[in-house]
Amino acid sequence: MAAVELRDLLHYPFLPEAQKILASRGISVAGLSKTGSGKNYLDKAADRVVFAIDGKETYPSDTSGDNISDIVTYVLARVLVSCTKDKRTIERFVKAEAKRVFGYLKQEQNQTIKARVCSEFGISLEAERVTVLQYVEMAANIREEKWRLINREVEKGYVTVSSDELEILLSEKIRSYLGSTLPLAVPGAVEREFAPWTDKLLAKTQERTLAEFGAIDESAYPPCIQALIQGAAAGVNLTHSGRFSLVSFLHVIGMNAEQIEGIFARSPDYNPDMTMYQVDHILTNEYTPPSCVTMLTHGVCVSKDATCEKVSHPLNYYREKKRYLERKRRLEENKAKKAAETAEAKAASGAEKKDEPSA
Ligand code: SF4
């Protein structure tokens, strides 16, 4: 196996050798916030996650002279996102880290290290084909038609891929690999110790989500959510999945606990204490609403419409429909403005004619 140097571990901190470095330097996670250097590492780790939440750029390498900082902040950032228990924060972190690793890997001059990292993901970059199983796993989240297995050349259990395609598959693989290792099981004492950092990250994710979805537009709700709201208002006892899907959806698009409780308050047999308890429980424990596939499995995907055919998640439906409605409103406003201007111009020219002296 290729010898991995410290520089390599800064770029690829998920390699098992990186964990050994922390142990050899006596750095342990519990109690870290009690020292100045520990707090500094936690601040940097939180910054690393904030970079990911913002989704604008890749977290830069540390240039302070601390030669293990990038490894420590990676490890701590994983602990912090795990403490948030928030899928959105975890997903954004994984996406950004996968992009970072893929960026380094693309520029990697040391072929031995490149091969070593790829082998960690079970891939050979020289390969012109991958097994069907590997292919299905790596291409699962790519939506373009050409990536569907049915459109690929398959022979004796292998799918033929070009070198460019292999790189795309590799970036997907890195993402699923990093994502599969999170969230970590963090001891309660560490969770409590890191709460000041975790709370900031959760607030940042919420702020980012609000910026992403803008003002709430009820007319853009997907049919499943509309049905759940109608059910809640009519006093129907929603299933756990239905209640969870509704509350988490409304929270992600920007409603606070009081506004969500207000929806349940429309029910004839509204119980404020029970509703508050259930809503708070969902908001503090899980945040991301389920995908369409999961909604379908739980019987909460109902009354699908044409927009549903284009999306795989109720949030994507909402985003898509909101954009469409906004475009439509702008067009109608422009049309009304033009009609008013034309009417005004006509009225003005009529008035001018009236004022003209008769021959
Ligand atoms: S397809 Fe998705 S968005 Fe549409 S109703 Fe079903 S779960 Fe909701």
Do residues 288 and 245 touch, judged by C-beta distance below 8 A? Answer: no
> Which H or E run contains 53?
helix 36-54
Q: What mean pLDDT is predicted for residues 223-242?
A: 88
Q: What's the chain's length in residues?
A: 359
> 236 to each of 7, 114, 243, 259, 266, how far by Cα in Å?
59, 57, 11, 19, 11
Q: Which residues have C-beta atoms less than 6 Å from ligand 1?
A: 222-224, 292, 295, 301, 304, 308, 314, 317
* 317 CA closest ligand 1 atom index: 3
* 314 CA closest ligand 1 atom index: 3
* 313 CA closest ligand 1 atom index: 2
Phi/psi-derived region of residue 119, left when phi > 0, alpha when psi is between -120 and 50, beta in every other case: alpha
Distance 116 CA to ligand 1 centre (A): 42
Distance 46 CA to ligand 1 centre (A): 35
- Chain centroid to Cα 58, Å, comes to 15
Buried b (16+ CB within 10 A) or exposed e, 269-292: eeeeeebeebbeebbeebbbbbbb
What is the model's pLDDT at position 143? 66
342 phi, psi to nearest 5 deg: -65, -45
Instruction: Kindly report, residue by residue over 265-323, the tens digit of the pLDDT.
Output: 877 767 777 778 878 777 766 567 899 999 999 999 999 999 999 999 999 999 999 99
* 305 CA closest ligand 1 atom index: 4
What percent of the chain stands above pLDDT 90? 34
* 47: confidence class by pLDDT, cuts 50, 70, 90: very high
Asked, as a colleague might, if the bond just before 314 is cis with ω within 30 of 0, I would say: no
Instruction: Kindly report, residue by residue over 148-167, the tens digit of the pLDDT.
Output: 888 899 998 899 988 888 88
What is the model's pLDDT at position 351? 72
pTM: 0.68
Do residues 235 and 222 touch, judged by C-beta distance below 8 A? Answer: no
Is the pLDDT assigned to residue 56 strictly greater than 60? yes
> 63 to each of 4, 68, 272, how far by Cα in Å?
21, 11, 53
Is the pLDDT assigned to residue 359 strictly greater than 60? no
Is the pLDDT assigned to residue 358 strictly greater than 60? no
Provide the terminal-to-terminal Cα distance of the chain, rounded to the nearest Å: 104
What is the model's pLDDT at position 225? 96
What is the model's pLDDT at position 282? 75
Is the pLDDT assigned to residue 357 strictly greater than 70? no
> 104 to each of 5, 10, 60, 131, how far by Cα in Å?
15, 10, 11, 26
Instruction: Kindly report, residue by residue over 90-146, the tens digit of the pLDDT.
Output: 888 998 998 898 888 888 888 888 888 888 888 777 678 888 988 888 888 776 778
What percent of the chain stands above pLDDT 70? 95
Torsion of Cα atoms, 155 then 157 then 163 then 165, to 10°: 100
